[in-house]
Amino acid sequence: EDGSRLWLRYPLVADRRLLDEYRRDLRYVVAPDTDGPLGSAAGELSRALTSLLGRDVPIRRKVDGAGPLVLRTAASDAGPESYTLRRGRVDGTAAVIITGGADRGALYGAFHLLRLVQTHVTLDRLDVAERPRNPLRLANHWDNLDGSVERGYAGRSVFGFAELPELTERHSTYARALASVGLNGTVINNVNANAQFIAPEMLFKLQPLAALLRGWGISLYLSLNFASPMILGGLTTADPFDAGVKDWWRTKITEIYRAIPDLGGFLVKADSEGQPGPISYGRTHADGANLIAEAAAPHGGIVMWRAFVHDFNALEWSNKAYETFKPLDGKFADNAIVQIKNGPIDFQVREPAHPLFGALPNTNAMMELQVTQEYTGQSTHLCYLVPQWQEVYGFDTHAEGSGTTVAKIISGRTYGRELGGVAGVMNLGDDTDWTRHQLAAANTHGYGRLAWNPGLKARDIAEEWTRQTFGNDQREVAVITGLLLGSWQTYLDYTNPLGVSFLIKGDHFTPSPQTNTGWHQADAEGTGFDRTVATGNGFTGFYHRPVSDRFENLSDCPDELLLFLHHVPYGHRLKSGKTVIQHVYDSHFDGAAEVGRMRDRWRELRGRIDAKRWADTAERFDRHREQAILWRDTIAGYYFAASRVLDERRSWVQVTPTGNAAICLIGGRENLVRLSLANASAAE
């Protein structure tokens, strides 16, 4: 066991009673002779069940004896991606029946059935009817042509661009993993896009990859460089209103579709962080998006246009996307979608939901989440993000009265739009275990499961992944599920005082509150970023009532977002009754202590989990613990130095930045101890 099979391991069912039941009811698969997702589903069922049940489960073309598992399709009101799992009779024989609304639905149904077997659920009263809530459920890879991965922490690109068109087993495992959690598309290259991805030789190289993905119901998408007409076409402009530019894109996109006829479409990052875009030509983001949308429309393609725009200016950052895109509502083509990050900043560990959700009633909108843990500990800290994502999905914008959640808006239901969904910036790389931290694959899995149904419970998703990945031993399941579910709150505790963000160095990993003081604005009196209408940058006014009031008024503002929205004195009392400064101390010490306990809980699993995966993860927890202590000391020390308010509850030592003195906070008193390097540790 090395993690390379992710959650698709299919070991022999250990529960004897269930094994007998499954063996009785799942003797062979009945499926038509076809390729595409239906054929993939039949193959997956046969191989997986053969392995899970420890006996041959062949594919047959028709019912022929007891115990058939029938895979079929039938048009359904619930749509082509829906499915049911039921017991019934087929040609007079009792059968387990998977019925997909179309091929993709049958594939998702097959993976659902396998999940039940993997997690030891009886098929006795089988009665499942499922359909996805989001039309687009995409992976976004920030992979570069040279194989490097922007914000990738698990090695190089999974796609092996240099070796294409040659494919490997990893490509299949990748496609199966995505399909198994219901994802239906993937953008394979970085949003900071290299135009060469749409050069003729690259299109040729991508064809077999597109075909492989197609077999698993996954559409390929490409990130575009807006200046491609200049870079590839030798034009002197990329102005969306220029006739030559329009022509170039029409011809190019036709060429792309000739190579990959079922390409899903395109993703564009424009006029953001140095990327080219329409603004430099005096045009709008809608003009830019519509240029690509029009060229893609005859081929059934779409364009996802990112709303992530900012000027690296902390004061304006939260407002820029809203101010740029709100006036463009209704100006985007029908096959264009605005892709909005979950929050207004940039994948911080906690942000309020982006105010653009619910602000664009006449525009297709989708949400972008980050599965790769750029700001949440990368592949060193365990930080299970499903609870974070659920908070955003569940956020009530009140845009059309109460109950207008982000989940509802991006699914298209609120404004009756056909296009919508979610994109997740992926955490997969060419490391053997795909994610470097074995437990980080739970984020990959959880992202997909929530994309399918944001209403699923975090506990159920975590437990399902744990059972599939490590087995059904009760103690293991309880420990690992517990580790996952608590980890985001713990990460928040030791890194993020009440919604403050960007307390890091340029690596987006190392704690460094002195690097970006504009974000936390800690001075001698208080801390926090005033984003109110009354006295701050006006951000709270972007929300619908009553959300805007709740955020604007200090007394109503939720504690967890307090310092994201307000600047308050250190002595300000939280709803918990604690002062802000004491909360900063307590949460950082408690959070770091919890990481120590997490490490110990993992250690107790020694011998219960296969050696390599256990040891790899134990090593991660050791580093995680060191990092959590570093965070604790850095943030608590920084806030003490700024506020000079003593920690009421505990004694600790803060070494001054020069390293030649230590401030010892002992028994509620402050003592300054001068150190020489030689006796520094003695003083501790």
Footprint of ligand BDP (CB under 6 A):
150-151, 191-192, 269, 273, 308, 346-347, 374
**Using CB atoms, what's the residue nearest to ligand BDP?**
346
Q: Are 220 and 188 in contact (CB under 8 A)?
A: yes
User: Coil, helix or strand for 88?
Assistant: strand
Cβ distance to ligand BDP smaller for residue 100 or 377: 377
Structure tokens at 477: 């399941």
Cβ distance to ligand BDP smaller for residue 21 or 150: 150
Cβ distance to ligand BDP smaller for residue 30 or 136: 136
Cβ distance to ligand BDP smaller for residue 39 or 429: 429
CB burial class (10 A; 0-12, 13-18, 19+) of residue 506? Answer: exposed
CB of 9 to ligand BDP, least distance (A): 32
CB of 360 to ligand BDP, least distance (A): 19
Cβ distance to ligand BDP smaller for residue 81 or 271: 271
Which residues, listed in sequence order, are joined to residue 511 by a DSSP beta bridge? 504
Residue whose token pair is 């994948």: 347
CB of 379 to ligand BDP, least distance (A): 16
Q: Are 202 and 237 in contact (CB under 8 A)?
A: no
Output the CA–CA distances (angstroms, integers) from residue 417 to 113, 322, 335, in the order listed: 31, 20, 11
Structure tokens at 202: 């690259």
Length of the chain: 684
Q: Are 566 and 532 in contact (CB under 8 A)?
A: yes
Task: Choose the catalytic residue: 287, 351, 374, 493.
Answer: 374
CB of 132 to ligand BDP, least distance (A): 25
User: Coil, helix or strand for 652?
Assistant: strand
CB of 160 to ligand BDP, least distance (A): 22
- Distance, in Å, from the CA atom of 344 to the CA atom of 355, rounded to the nearest integer, reads 7
CB of 272 to ligand BDP, least distance (A): 6
CB of 241 to ligand BDP, least distance (A): 25
CB of 573 to ligand BDP, least distance (A): 34
- Distance, in Å, from the CA atom of 63 to the CA atom of 300, rounded to the nearest integer, reads 38
Cβ distance to ligand BDP smaller for residue 207 or 516: 516
CB of 508 to ligand BDP, least distance (A): 6
CA count, 13 A, side-chain hemisphere, 11: 14
| Phi, psi of 666, deg, nearest 5 | -125, 125
Cβ distance to ligand BDP smaller for residue 104 or 310: 310
* Cβ neighbours for 679, distance < 8 A, ≥ 6 positions apart: none
Cβ distance to ligand BDP smaller for residue 502 or 539: 502
> Strands 83-90 and 127-130: what pairing?
antiparallel
Torsion sign over Cα 406, 409, 413, 415: positive
Question: Can 374 be counted among the known catalytic residues?
Answer: yes
Residue 529 falls in which region: left (phi positive, over 0), alpha (psi -120 to 50) or beta: beta
Which residues, listed in sequence order, are joined to residue 149 by a DSSP beta bridge? 143
Cβ distance to ligand BDP smaller for residue 355 or 637: 355
CB of 425 to ligand BDP, least distance (A): 7
Cβ distance to ligand BDP smaller for residue 7 or 502: 502
Torsion sign over Cα 459, 461, 466, 471: positive
Number of H helices, E strands in the chain: 20, 19
Nearest C-alpha neighbor of 270 from the set 327, 316, 319, 321: 321
Question: Can 273 be counted among the known catalytic residues?
Answer: yes
Cβ distance to ligand BDP smaller for residue 373 or 405: 373
Nearest C-alpha neighbor of 209 from the set 170, 177, 181, 180: 170
Looking at this protein, which amino acid is placed at residue 138? L
* Cβ neighbours for 83, distance < 8 A, ≥ 6 positions apart: 98, 99, 100, 101, 105, 106, 108, 109, 112, 128, 129, 130, 131
Output the CA–CA distances (angstroms, integers) from residue 370 to 33, 94, 390, in the order listed: 39, 45, 13
* Cβ neighbours for 585, distance < 8 A, ≥ 6 positions apart: 636, 639, 640, 647, 649, 650
Cβ distance to ligand BDP smaller for residue 174 or 347: 347
- Distance, in Å, from the CA atom of 625 to the CA atom of 595, rounded to the nearest integer, reads 6
CB of 279 to ligand BDP, least distance (A): 16
Task: List the alpha helices (DSSP H) in 181-283.
Answer: 200-214, 228-231, 243-259
* Cβ neighbours for 486, distance < 8 A, ≥ 6 positions apart: 594, 598
Task: Choose the catalytic residue: 163, 273, 525, 549.
Answer: 273
Task: Choose the catalytic residue: 1, 150, 346, 616.
Answer: 346
CB of 402 to ligand BDP, least distance (A): 31
Question: Can 146 be counted among the known catalytic residues?
Answer: no
- Distance, in Å, from the CA atom of 9 to the CA atom of 269, rounded to the nearest integer, reads 37
CB burial class (10 A; 0-12, 13-18, 19+) of residue 101? Answer: buried
Residue whose token pair is 């364009």: 303
Active site residues: 273, 346, 374
